[in-house]
């Protein structure tokens, strides 16, 4: 896992002007300030932990619990979250691996036109795992 400015798995998904980034939950105000400096205006939050409230960003919540990652349901959450991605969005969960990876797989396929195998290969570079059955099933059905 790579950590930049106290943000795990931080990466650009699509560059500006349609800037979308992904990663884990920023740990402090300076990490949120760094994202704002890069052009992030919206936090698309997939985890349930607090922390975005003082970020100064527009926070859009689509929480997926650990139980949901294993047993579901996740489809409606992820499809709604995909529709909420706009330029300047930072997509994150706690570590930026599984929930974030699954949504970015969907984004890569539906928005960027990638093949499923390309999107999954990228997700594996961010330690996305097949050990969470509901996420695995969702990706299998894309």
Share of the chain above pLDDT 70, in %: 97
Long-range contacts of 31-40 (CB under 8 A, 24+ apart): 31/5, 31/6, 31/7, 32/56, 32/57, 34/5, 34/7, 35/7, 35/90, 39/88, 40/88, 40/89, 40/90
For residue range 25-82, list pLDDT tens digits in order.
Answer: 998 999 999 999 999 999 999 999 888 888 899 999 999 998 998 898 999 989 999 9
Q: What is the pTM of this model?
A: 0.94
For residue range 100-113, list pLDDT tens digits in order.
Answer: 999 999 999 999 99
Indicate the pLDDT class of residue 96, thresholds 50, 70 and 90. very high
**CA-wise closest residue to 97 among 42, 27, 46:** 46
């Amino acid at each position: 896992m790579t950590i930049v400015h106290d943000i795990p798995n931080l990466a650009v998904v699509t560059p500006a002007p349609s800037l979308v980034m992904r990663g884990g939950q920023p740990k402090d105000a300076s990490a949120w300030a760094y994202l704002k400096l890069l052009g992030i205006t919206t936090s698309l939050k997939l985890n349930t932990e607090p922390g975005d409230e003082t970020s100064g960003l527009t926070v859009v919540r689509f929480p997926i619990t650990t139980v949901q990652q294993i047993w579901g349901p996740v489809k409606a959450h992820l499809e709604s979250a995909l529709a909420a991605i706009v330029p300047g969005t930072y997509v994150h969960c706690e570590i930026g691996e599984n929930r974030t990876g699954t949504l970015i797989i969907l984004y890569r396929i539906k928005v960027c036109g990638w093949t499923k195998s390309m999107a999954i290969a990228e997700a594996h570079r961010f330690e996305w795992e097949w050990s969470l059955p509901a996420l695995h099933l969702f990706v299998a059905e894309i």
